[in-house]
A and B are shown apart, each in its own frame.
Chain A
Amino acid sequence: MIFYIGKRILQGTVVIVITAFLSFLLFNFVTDPVANMVGQETTAEDMEALRERLGFNDPVPVQFVRFMGNAVQGEFGISYQMQRSVKSLFRERFPATFELVMVSTLLALVIGIPLGVYTGLHRNGKIANGILGASLIGVSLPTFIISILFIYLFAVILRWLPPFGRGDTVAIVGYWTTGLLSISGLKSIILPAFTLCLYQLALILRIVRSEMLEALQTDYIKFAKARGLQNRVINYEYAFKNTLIPVITVLGLQVSSMLAFSVVTESVFQWPGLGMLFIQAAQFGDIPIITAYLLMATVIFVSINLLVDVIYYLIDPRLRVPSSSAAG
């Protein structure tokens, strides 16, 4: 167990260091950072002096160590496009993305699990088949097209919900703002959160359904039926509980993929989060933000994957057999 986790941590560290090195190359050598800092009237000598003072003439390993030191503290310099420090921009935008991902995860669970249980219990029912078919369509349509259709239907034709933005936000502590405490904020989050959760919703629905179907075939359920227990008790006390382990692991992995898809959703709904910040940076070639996002995404992905592995180990006792008796 410890050996396995240690190996995974080592692997994750290697990935992060390689990505960091790539970001470092991108940050320092693709364009001239000094030329981006100074005005047009600066003389060549002044630029050279600035270069020397900021350490761009140091050996590459020294620069890399300095870059890493800064990166750990979240310092990625100043955004070319916004003329503000990347750190403050990320701080300001992070709560929006965090809220969006959390609300959609919650939606996916709250809608997906009951529908999965229902379709699992009513195997050949018309409604159940309809739900399954609809979930397939939801998965096969590209995210941004679903978003456009939702905006057209709910914002342009029906005028129920705002088509873009985050609504009014309330500051809680320091830089952390939330849109969940105002009516317009709540209304604004419905469309983007629902679009973002569709894929996860369909996935959870299908996993819960197949786990339910499997659980209902097992001997302990047959025995419970033979004992004459109520259907409600059998379905929810015995069968349903066993469907939750795969849901937890899938959810962990899906939170990280939601982070990736939030780029698309945020861009369509003009949601002022990290994804939109990244897209604007990519459009303008704003290297400090691109590098910061690259590193942040890598760190988040590696840690979530590690966390899921650990949780899997803790939840499923079958994986805890001593490695001498296991094949790998």
Chain B
Amino acid sequence: MKKFLIEHIIDTDFFYQYRRSPRVIVASSIILLIIFSAVFAPLLTPHRPFDPATLELMDSRTPPFFQEGGSTTFLLGTDDQGRDVLAIIMYGSRISLIVGFGSVLLAMVIGISIGLLSGYTGGWIDSFFMRLADIQLTFPSILIALLVDSIARVLFTGSAQDEVAIFILILAIGISTWPQYARMTRSGAMVEKGKDYIAAARIIKVNPRKIMFRHILPNIMGPNLVLATLGLAGAVIVEATLSFLGIGIPPTTPSLGTLIRIGNDYLFSGEWWITIFPAVALVILVLSINILGDWLRDVLNPKLQ
């Protein structure tokens, strides 16, 4: 009898492992929920936090609903401009996720291309790029991101800075993390290179670029995806840190880090919810991604089973 695709998925070992780990089910559900609410934020929340016409200054600094003076209109309270905290968290996680995914993608593209090239061709190309990766790995990636970010900001001074802030951050974080993917890909490519199917492809004179990307790459994607998942958590943290330091996303379209920065000023006057709720959202997101990444690493590594 012909099986449906969904039954194939349920039958796999991967899904079996997934069903058996409640921690991972919770973590992945949280990630899906956060992505869902970030993507559909305009449909899910009745508030329009970035439309000044809908904001009432009278509503500003309302505490969350469970505290005295709070109301159920603003479940998690409002900030200094009367924006609903839950709504700006939803919009903020949008920016955080865009920067996170974007920078991981950039790092993967740079790292995997360099790794394939180094591992497959060897020689001086290999030693040049691997020395470069070695050197970069001796610096903490957050310092590199900080430096690239501040230099890029100097190049785009003025009003253009706010518009390109997202791209500057993606660039800075992407550049600061490529060596990990390059090393992983290189070692994988070197192993695959010696196998018979690659020798066969070479004999019939397949284009080297095609061998690298069509034949080798699919076989070494697994470990790269694990790295990417853990890298996403790291990228979200670095983005939040840079935004918190005031050299990331501008307050007009805040990310989670920017929200924490804005709210931090009100911590001393007792309005804790403006900063604590975005911080909690960030921690939950990062923790869930890390749990998922750790689990993926164990499942995709047959030696550990």
Binding site for B on A (CB under 8 A): 11, 15, 26, 30-31, 140-145, 148-149, 151-152, 156, 163, 256-257, 259-261, 263-264, 267-268, 278-279, 281-283, 285, 287, 290, 294, 297, 301, 305
Contacts and interface: CB of A to CB of B under 8 A. Distances in A.
A145 B263 CA distance: 12
B286 A142 contact: yes
Interface in B260-278: 260, 264, 267-268, 270, 272, 275-276
23 contacts: A15-B135, A140-B286, A142-B286, A143-B241, A144-B241, A144-B245, A145-B283, A148-B279, A152-B272, A156-B267, A156-B270, A257-B143, A259-B143, A260-B140, A260-B143, A261-B140, A263-B146, A267-B245, A282-B146, A282-B149, A285-B154, A285-B157, A294-B151
Nearest to B287: A140
A31 B154 contact: yes
A200 to B, nearest CB: 12
Contacts of B131: 11
Interface residues of B, number: 37
B139 interface: yes
Contacts of A149: 279
A144 B142 contact: no
B146 A260 contact: yes
A279 B246 contact: yes
- Of A141, A257, A267, A282, the most chain B CB neighbours within 10 A belong to A282
Contacts of A141: 283
B283 to A, nearest CB: 6
A151 B275 CA distance: 12
B290 A140 contact: yes
Interface of B: 131, 135, 138-140, 142-143, 146-147, 149-151, 153-155, 157, 237, 240-241, 244-247, 260, 264, 267-268, 270, 272, 275-276, 279, 282-283, 286-287, 290
Contact of A263 (B138, B245, B286): B245
A142 B154 CA distance: 26
Given A142-B286, A301-B138, A30 B154 contact: yes
A256 B138 CA distance: 9
Contact of A142 (B138, B241, B246, B268): B241
A272 B142 CA distance: 21
Given A26-B151, A290-B151, A145 B282 contact: yes
B243 to A, nearest CB: 10
A31 B154 CA distance: 9
A264 B154 CA distance: 20
A264 B245 CA distance: 7
B268 A156 contact: yes
A297 B150 CA distance: 14
Nearest to B151: A26
Contacts of A26: 151, 154
A78 to B, nearest CB: 16
Nearest to A143: B241
A282 B172 CA distance: 14
A104 B55 CA distance: 45
Give 8 nearest A-B pairs by CB, closest first: A282-B150, A260-B143, A260-B140, A257-B140, A285-B154, A142-B237, A282-B247, A145-B279
Contacts of B268: 156, 163
A254 to B, nearest CB: 10
B140 to A, nearest CB: 4
A294 B247 contact: no
Contacts of B142: 260-261, 264
Contacts of A259: 143
A197 B201 CA distance: 53
Given A30-B155, A142-B240, A142-B286, A294 B147 contact: yes
A134 to B, nearest CB: 15
